[in-house]
Amino acid sequence: MYCCFTGHRKLNTCGKLKEVLSEVIDTAIADGYTDFYCGMALGVDMCAAEIIISKAKENPALNLHAALPCAEQDLKWTEEEQKHYEEILSHASTKTIISPFYTKSCMLSRNRFMVDNSERVIAVWNGSVRGGTAYTVRYAKKENKEIHLIRPKDLSVTVL
């Protein structure tokens, strides 16, 4: 069973938020999920990928699947961010590149791909109506996907 992540790029994913995300991932694993799609964006995506990589050391049935919006996703990132990205990619069981180059729609296409190929979505979303996370949550609702929503403000978890 497949699960995917969506969340904001600019959230501080250290400390308590990372703990809550890890607990929600533990719930997914307990529910039988072994395959996790990650869009490999900075912020929540990379944090979720790190958690899966860590848990896979104790549970080799777990697989990280990288869904890349374009081949050049990390082109404008800092050298440190690029190294971190490559390290995480080296642990991915599969890598799917949605577009060979950046387009206005490649990020949203990547998000649709992950939702379409998952039964559950884990979202870290502040409730804003604009942006990729908002779009992905709306799309997942439309597609009747199970959504485990983490609100960063109070770290509450809701199942939609």
- Mean pLDDT over 24-40 rounds to 98
Q: CA 73, CA 85: separation in Å to the nearest integer? A: 10
In the chain, the domains with their CATH numbers are 2-159 (3.40.50.450)
CB < 8 Å & 24+ apart, contacts of 73-80: 73/40, 73/41, 73/102, 75/102, 77/42
Least confident of 7-21, 33-47, 96-110: 7-21
The span from the CA of 92 to the CA of 88, in Å, is 7
Does the reported pTM lie above 0.85?
Answer: yes
Q: How does the average pLDDT of the chain come out, rounded? A: 95
**Which residue in this structure is represented by tokens 């050298």?**
79
Cα gap 155→101, rounded to integer Å:
36
Residue 158 scores a pLDDT above 90: yes
Count of helix runs (H) and strand runs (E) in the chain:
5, 7
Report which DSSP code applies to 129.
S
Q: pLDDT tens-digit profile of 130-143?
A: 999 999 999 999 99
pLDDT at 12 exceeding the cut of 80: no
DSSP 8-state class, residue 99:
E
CB of 33 within 8 A of CB of 147? no
